Structure 1
């Protein structure tokens, strides 16, 4: 990507096994892009490329959510080896996501609670998957629409309809997970009883 904003757009509209970010991207630097990706609940492995070799710089990178940190100049073979290691590690982990007693398998796309399948449409499954990946953090409406539909944003109430279906499906499956909303912020999953 030519700049940080473009990198963020690619991340939001495509799936990657590993993301490589140069710290010196214009418009939005690599660390900011990394932090933004993690705040959206995306756990794709991230390698930061930089000429900064101080321990403090590395620690900042890891705090922002980077999985690896490669100092320039580096041998291309080393970058390839690190990408391969992260991709292999992810492929062994990524096929199953959990939150509370809800378990999602990515391939095939199946959601379960208490050992029973949760009946979801492909779109509602994608919605649940993004919320599970967020790990209980609040996800904005705009981010959910982008994650579920990409650039083909549907009519304005489509998200509301799928939220309703997902809540109903979780209840019917006796999941210990609730889909809650936060006014003017978005939606999040919780295993705690709703207050009020």
Structure 2
């Protein structure tokens, strides 16, 4: 089941959207103002964020920008009555992935949610999970207080893993992200995962990179040894 967060101060519209999405097996949390939306986004993981621009307390542009600056890569679909180019530019610059101008057809909303949830990459500038942080713009990876270095392929693998953390990523998806359709021999992914795991290892600490048997790999927070 997909889970979305709707941040919208029009309660009538919100009720209609929530009921419609429920019919299509999409669970929807609701915030009537921007600050409550910020709180929910910090506490929970969502597949898609549905975000109005004109919101009380914290407006949609600011909310989206703060989320991206904090490393949140949840795809954002902005719902807005504004259809001017300057407003869309401001939204995209803040990290939005798509726009839907009110009034909109609920079926189109559903299709866009499904498309964004499949993409699941957003425009985060910093990807974080636990003590691990990847700054996309600066091309830096930090583990706690220390900066670490990985190969170009290791970077691609880690970026995909962090964008989905703590969920597991299938081997096939990782191979496609790195090599596209020209996948080398079957041992290549294993070799590069081994090198990435070594780069992320800290003596005396539990591992961050986990093998999910029969499926793939996942970045998950350390647990006590």
Short-chain TM bin: 0.5 to 0.7
Aligned to 1:57: 20
Offset from partner CA, 1:145-191 (integer Å, 9 cap, x none): 11222233222111101110011011158876511111111111111
Residue 93 of structure 2 corresponds to residue 88 of structure 1: yes
Structure with more relative contact order (C-alpha pairs < 8 Å, separation 6 or more): 1
Alignment of 1:1-196 (within 5 A): 54-55=16-17, 56-57=19-20, 60=26, 65=48, 67-68=76-77, 78=83, 80=85, 83-90=88-95, 94-172=124-202, 178-193=208-223
Q: TM-score scaled to structure 2, two decimals?
A: 0.51
Unaligned runs of 5+ in 2: 4-14, 29-45, 50-75, 97-122
Specify whether residues 80 and 154 from structure 1 end up closer, same or farther in structure 2 by C-alpha distance, changes over 3 A only.
farther
Q: TM-score scaled to structure 1, two decimals?
A: 0.58
Contact 2:206 2:223 in 1 (8 A): no
> Deviation at 1:82?
6.2
The 2-side partners of 1:79 and 1:194 are apart by: 52
The 1-side partners of 2:215 and 2:193 are apart by: 15
The 2-side partners of 1:135 and 1:181 are apart by: 13
Unaligned runs of 5+ in 1: 1-31, 39-52
What do you get for the CA RMSD once the two structures are aligned? 3.5
How many pairs are equivalent?
A: 141
> Deviation at 1:65?
2.1
Q: Secondary structure at the residue paired with 1:87?
A: helix
Specify whether residues 194 and 159 from structure 1 end up closer, same or farther in structure 2 by C-alpha distance, changes over 3 A only.
farther
> Deviation at 1:61?
8.7
Offset from partner CA, 1:56-100 (integer Å, 9 cap, x none): 2356496752532669xx9xx728566434422228x72211111
